[in-house]
Structure 1
Amino acid sequence: MTVATVVLAVVVAALSLALVASVILARRRAAIDRAALARLTAENHALRERCDAAHATAELRARMVAHVSHELRTPMQAIMSLLALLDEHGLPLEQRRQHLSTLRGSTEDLLLLIDGLLDTAQIEGKRPSLRADDFSPRATLEQLVDLLGPSAHKRGLELRAALAPDLPPRLRGDRLRLRQIVINLIGNSIKFTRQGHVELRVAARVEDEVAHLQVEVSDTGVGMSPEALGRLFREFARVGDPSVEGTGLGLSISKQLVEALGGRLEVDSDPGVGTTFRFEVRMPLLAALPAEQAAAADNRPRVLVADDDSAGRELLATALRRSGYAVDGVADGAAAVASALARPYVAVILDVQLPELDGPDAARQIRDVRGDVALIALTGHTEIDVLGRCKGAGIDAILIKPVKLETLRATIVRVAAQRTQPVDLAVIRGYVTAEDPAFVPGLIDVYLREAERDLEAMEEAAAGQEIARVAQLAHRLKGSSAGFGARLLAERCQSLYAAARAEQPVSHELAALAREFGRVKSALSAERTRLISSSS
């Protein structure tokens, strides 16, 4: 091997080693670069996650602030409304006390919200914590109507309330959340209603000691399209007039609260017609408190005022309360009938032109069941046909508007006294003589025996379609009843006689006559016992 060959081999070997070293170095550098890239990627990912978390936290805080702000505004609105009412000059002391009591309750609600701020918001889980309060649903809802009424009136709207007369006296549940939901719904309706009314309707169905509270809020506002309804309950969504102030949270919060209470918030709406929100929640029944039991046993006579004019209705109610009456108010004829048949009113005051059922039709349904309640009509009409309809419906007195309050009070006293007593005992006592103390008790025996026989004969004749016989017997019983001071029973006999003569169905008239005779029999039997005792 020559020297040249050896040198060439050495050079080739050196070049090979250099190439291998270069490859190894390149690989090491690539590995280092990959590791650096991996670290950089991981760091970027971590930074991105922290950035996203920061954005989520900021968004959560913004939503929480908006949510809490909305919740705090609910009792604050109540407080501001009450302060405005208290600032009115000439407000009666009784109303001031009522407003102060409600104001105290609103401030307590505000404290509850503040004390449980983090717990009640719980936006992330969208499951607000609930309280278990013992409360009166009627008192709670009536306070809300009183609070929000001025806001509605300021916009030229009427805020109506139709609370079923058979609402349970006490429930156990989250009163604060129920208030929030109803205030949000009524407030929303007031915002988007330019004319007409907003109405709160509440009823209850009781099953196994649990009340299913059914709540509706309806309005005559702008309404919504189907597309708008699809976005209605989204947070921060604004549906409807963009000029109306709001955060877009009220309905979203209401939906969450209804669902937290175990219900579902539903809505029906027609553009240009109006919107109705409804939900149903379940709450256990509770026994009435002693104070409520005392109120239920209140000896004050109770009066029902039915008038669709809320201002006029409240004026009458306030005047009658000052006169010593307990007063309830309703806005339509159907509610008047339901309430009159559920509570022991001494008098029902009916405006002739009522929605649902007008005054005479409502009076007729009440009179079919109750003969002991005074029915008084208020009307601005003096037409003979209107007055005739009122008399034919069993209305005791018709007062032409405007009515002096003194006249109304005197009419209630007079008519209620006539209706409360099934028998004018002064009539029967006028027959009493010292010479024959057994004479009147004997008369009572004869009258009751013959009246019972006539009533049984009328029922048999009606069953056999002997209408002429029914009319004959009713006419006879009318005369004898009037002679014993049973004026209301005589009226029932006259109504039955008129129906039979006109060959109209007599079952309702006959049933009403039988009920009234039961009252007369009890009163005369008690008087007979008293007369016998006093003569012995």
Structure 2
Amino acid sequence: MFKNNKIINFSILTIVIMLTFLLYFEFTVISRYFNQNIQDKQKIITKIYNQKIKEVEHLYTKKIENILSVSTIRDGIKVHNIELLKKDFISEFKKMQNENKFVKTMLITDTNNIVLLRAHKPTMYHDNLTNIRPIIKKANETKKILYGFEAGKMSIPYRITVPVILDGVHYGVIDLGISSNYFIEHINNIIPDVHVTSLLNKDHLKKFIKSTYLNKTPIKKGFLAPNFNKFFEPFFDKIDLNKDISQIIVGNKTYLINTTLKIMSFDKTDFGTILISFDVTKSVDNEQKKILEILFIIGIILIVTYVVLRYKNSLNAKNKLDSITDTYKKQLELSAKTSGIAFWEYNFNTNSFVFNDFYYQFLHTTADEEDGYEMDAQTYLTSFIPQEYQQTVIDVIQEAYKRDKNYSSKFEYKMKRRDGVILDVLVNYTMLYDKDGQPIKSYGTKLDLTEIKKSEGILKKAKEEAENANIAKSEFLANMSHEIRTPLNAIMGFIGLLKEDEKNEEKIKYLKTIDTSSYNLLEIINDILDFSKIESNLIELEYIDYNPLDEFESIVELFRARVLEKNITFKVDIDKNLPYHINSDPLRIKQVAINLLSNAVKFTSQGKTIELKVVFKDNFLSVYVKDKGIGIAQNKLQDIFKPFMQADNSTTREYGGTGLGLTISSKLIKALGGELKVKSELGKGSKFYFTIPVKTVEAKEKVNKIDDFKELSGHILLVEDNKANQMFMKVILKKMGLTFDIANNGLEALERFSKFTCDNKTKYDAILMDENMPNMNGAEATKRILEIEKEHNLPHTPIIALTANALKGDRERFLDAGMDEYLTKPVNKKKLAEILAKFLGDIA
């Protein structure tokens, strides 16, 4: 009887240990998930907080820069005239307060940190802030913009401190303060299920803040707590501020309090902490419910085990042992079914594995087929692990054996099912140790990654195919551009020459029609190429300093002839306040304006009006194009910015076009920082308009442009394989007063260059180099010419790419090859003359 009781007690103890491990395993998984969830939410809050800080820095730095553009403020700063400063400085501050109630302070100091004017307290000035406002002192010393929380006399706002530098002279700083409550309220608005409040370091701040403020501000655990969130009041004393996370239970509610978000000054001084409270009551209740369910199952199992074992105790020893074994097996099966996962156990002492039924299903076999649930390690390795991965599994087991307590890990490898199918698997495992800290067993689960890996392979292949397709598309567009631009160069060039010499009005009309059609074809090509760049996110902007008035006047001149031909009234209203020079991308702005005006002319009938209006205000450029044309139906407005779409399919047939112009224009304006908008009414006309930010820059001297080709002189090497283009270029170069030789390809260019330069001891004044040519292309010929110059110590001959290659990267590719300039076909005669004049240095 005593012996049987020992068996019962040992069996119960064994079951308790196993079920306790299952409970521990479940609890560990729950805890990790729970903690990860909280960490993820904290990361989101930290990201929101940091993003808002950056947003405030960018926005209000820009506003301060705009304030410094006001003439009265600039003049008042330069002469320290308080009354002149008050005129606009205070009103600008009030504007910001109307926009954001959390804007609290704004002042301006001189270079010695003496206050010139406080916009929030205009009567208080001429005090020295050197010892109480470190950020102002540092900004004056470094002449750099600084950001951070810093105490004033009555608060601790977030400071944006901008040095005042006018016409290269440092006059002081402007300091703007935004209440810290702005950021707390922002977090609450974005994530409404959390509570937020701030605590400030009293000991650090008392030397900056007035005692009256210190005395009237609530104190919490030695911290200042202005605007304290009453939500924290009932349990604040329970919060451990030295811990990153504290768990607080209030009644039937459970909260996690996070203290990792800090209030930092510009020099990284810790001013205080932002407390964030997460309500985790529901999550805790759910997990407690799961644990209670597991405990209930454990209790039932223990009761059933005890009853069964007591009943079997009355049988003989063999039957008792068989009963215990049978019960143990049933309990293992019940545990396996409860977990529903492929579970395994490895015993370090016996060097064997134990698997559940789910694990055998994973391997496409059964316990009966494998002679039971236990299997020695060697059999397992040879039967189910491919040979190249067997040593990996052995190494993992040996490494786990060497580890300290509480070790758990995971690793990936390949397995072989009983039917020979190879699987990708992920193993998660943890260790079990005896009372002396020695490893006894490891337990774990196995996850099939095969389908996931297949999906990854499919995605990788699809990505490669997409990239290859994109390359093929780019090559096709490059070839298409080259093949169309090459003949267009000759067509448009000779049309221009014929127009110059033709006296017959009828023939001039025909030539204009051919010229217009050629330019329309060129615009279609450019639209397709631009759309391809935009679709692939390859569009590039080139910001330069330029005179916007010149650009808009050139646009007006371009359309004067068009509107006259169609008998349309063209109204132009260009802002008189338009700066002489701005910094932006003139090519793209001009492209959009021309596209909008082209549409206006195209869709407006004879006798009606189109209008171009340009407005400049507060460093924003606005362009309006209005017409009295056919208009657009309201239900079609949403479609006109989509690629290949027009308001009506019949529009394409009647007026032509690709349907890409507005798509491209919209994308370009968005890239420039604005938005292209439209108002329209069917039958009454349309108004397209956009506003983009630009920078005003100091005026520069105008670059002289050449107007007379005959002012040039020199001897040119023309490298061109197309006979029609050779004929056209001969005429152009002769009209410019230039002499020239012709090479039909890159190899012939090398021969002519060597003979003319090395043999005749002279040099060409410039080389016009085509790219796509037989025998040797232009880039390779350029490299070889540079090598000849270096080898013979010759002065450099300027090489100008004259090519139909006009895709992204072509210009950089030619310049990297050693060419000095780049001009695309069809050739613009005036542009060609200007480039040649730059290198020949022969402008009259």
> What's the TM-score once normalised by structure 1's chain length?
0.36
* Higher fraction of strand: 2
Which of structures 1 and 2 has the larger relative contact order (alpha carbons within 8 angstroms, sep 6+)? 1
* Higher fraction of helix: 1
